[in-house]
Chains A and B, each alone.
Chain A
Amino acid sequence: MSVSEVCFQLKGSNITSIVLELKNYPSSDFLNQLQNKVSQAPQLFADSAVVISLEKFSPDSAVDFHALISDCFEAGLHPMAFRAVADELLDAVKQTGLPALPGAARSASVQAPEEDNSVQDQTSAAVGDGEQVEMSLEATAEVSEQDLTASEPEAVKTIIETRVEIQEKLVHRPAKIIERPVRGGQQIYAEGCDLIVLAQVSEGAEVLADGNVHIYAPLRGRALAGVKGDSNARIFCQQLEAELVSIAGIFILSDELKDKAWKQTAHIQLKDERLEIAKINDK
């Protein structure tokens, strides 16, 4: 009992979330509009955590944020924080128990929908920069915003702008390259990158990568791609005789592989939560 076990680890992390930018509240039509919006892309919004941004919100009277939060819940959204809270609203926000995140710094990334082109330019420029590719994607869920407002009566000028901000930092990391056989009992892990193996992977050996796994030789052991959950990761091998293949935690065993591309050049990817195995160059 000399060493007590570590109970947790505190880590910094980026979380993608939906931002609900509030413009006009209270409004009798808020819930209705929100539900409308959610129903346009139910899968995208289902049980999503949202950050309520008050950047463009300046009410004349006191606001009941409790009611706002329960409206959100009713529409199937889960508020997790407020951001860009003006000083005069701080007390009201604090009463809800949700944290008030700073917002001013982020206003730089606020993009009007018509500025879509500039986003693209920005990304392509960044890619051109070379080694360190840093991308900032902004997918706007601006589904028929115009139609919606046009059909509204002139009087109700409440617009709820829902925006999904995906901030992805794609830093290019060179693939891990293994030139000698990976023998039984050995394990090779390519952290944060692709794995390329130029020799065989024996039975009882295990090769893992956060990215794709390429094996230019027989694969007789286990190959796991996207081990941190990247469902776009794939496995390529020149001769499929694997004990197990797995992408983003979804795996199949050799029994099931035997009637697929067994002993052939194969390409394995995840489609609809199922592993799809195809021969390469199979016309």
Chain B
Amino acid sequence: MAKIIVVTSGKGGVGKTTTSASIGTGLAQRGHKTVIIDFDVGLRNLDLIMGCERRVVYDFVNVINGESNLKQTLIKDKRVDNLYILPASQTRDKDALSQEGVEKVLDELSEDFDFIVCDSPAGIERGAQMALYFADMAIVVTNPEVSSVRDSDRILGILQSKSRKAEKGEVVEEKLLVTRYNPERVEEGEMLSVEDVKEILAIELLGVIPESEAVLKASNQGSPVILDDESNSGKAYSDAVGRLFGEEIEHRFLEIEKKGFFKRLMGA
């Protein structure tokens, strides 16, 4: 039985797809057979971030409608073993996702995979609810600003009331991932601190991803940022994946990087 992880946020543009790509890749790097599903039907971009957009033939909606089978549709990643992508349809809308259809696909994937990562669309409507309905765990992606935190709170409420686990009286595991974190702007009071976000949402902190150009660069190159092990963002995602397996890793990149004497001398 696979563990189903939904990456969700409520608010758009906070880094859900980036996180899905990196967490999924990180899980596969550790030897677990993983599939990342793009639930953002109509606005697909997981395939772009994973750099497999040219290899999309069939998509999630085709599988649901029985127009293709999983073997034909899943795209195997060329860089990391054990990693597969199930792309969204560009030409359909979110009504094409029926609960029975999604359940059938997830059940079939569950037999083969260890982890199923569901990349949720923004919002709290049908698409987002479908992505989180079957989840065992939710990674809530939040930017350190008030509106993003508020939306995350809202989605947590939906998660614990409208998911399959909630309907059975069980609890979906909740993990907080703060992205686009900039300690300098926190210092200046332009951003909420990790502590603020943790206090408002009151869920376990999985990781803090520092704001970095590496993320943008990785997206444009179609390579998940976790593969860029030189970058702080890549390292932070690796830490987060480690914590998913219960490893105790201290959170880093929370403080302003002190420029060394030499760097200051060079004016860098």
Contact = CB atoms under 8 A, between A and B. Distances in A.
A180 B153 contact: no
Interface stretch (A37-45, A67-75, A196-204, A268-276): A196-204
Contacts of B161: 186
A153 interface: no
B263 to A, nearest CB: 41
Interface string A179-216: 01111111000000000000110111100000000000
Contacts of A200: 202
Interface string B119-163: 000000000000000000000000000000010011011101100
Given A180-B160, A183-B160, A186-B161, A199 B202 contact: yes
A185 B202 contact: no
A182 B157 CA distance: 7
Contacts of B150: 184, 203-204
Interface residues of A, number: 14
A256 B142 CA distance: 30
B243 to A, nearest CB: 22
Nearest to A181: B202
A199 B157 CA distance: 13
Contact of B156 (A181, A203, A220): A181
Contacts of B157: 182-186, 202, 205
A185 B153 CA distance: 9
A186 B154 CA distance: 8
B200 interface: yes
A184 B148 CA distance: 12
A217 to B, nearest CB: 8
A183 B160 CA distance: 9
Contacts of A204: 150, 153-154
B214 interface: no
Contacts of A185: 154, 157-158
Contacts of B56: none
Given A181-B202, A183-B160, A202 B153 contact: yes
Interface string A41-73: 000000000000000000000000000000000
Contacts of B156: 181, 183
Interface string B212-230: 0000000000000000000
A186 B150 CA distance: 13
Given A200-B202, A202-B200, A183 B171 contact: no
Nearest to A183: B157
Contact of A184 (B154, B160, B171, B202): B154
Interface in B155-178: 156-158, 160-161, 171
Count chain A CB atoms within 10 A of each CB in B154, B158, B160, B171 and give the residue with the most. B154
Contacts of A181: 156, 202
A31 to B, nearest CB: 63
A4 B106 CA distance: 45
B153 A203 contact: yes
Nearest to A221: B153
Interface in B191-209: 200, 202
15 contacts: A181-B156, A181-B202, A183-B153, A183-B157, A183-B160, A184-B150, A184-B154, A185-B157, A185-B158, A200-B202, A202-B157, A203-B153, A203-B200, A204-B153, A205-B157
Given A184-B150, A200-B202, 10 more contacts: A180-B160, A181-B156, A183-B160, A184-B153, A184-B157, A185-B154, A185-B157, A202-B200, A203-B153, A204-B153
Interface of B: 150, 153-154, 156-158, 160-161, 171, 200, 202
Give 9 nearest A-B pairs by CB, closest first: A183-B157, A184-B154, A184-B153, A186-B157, A202-B153, A185-B154, A183-B156, A183-B153, A185-B157
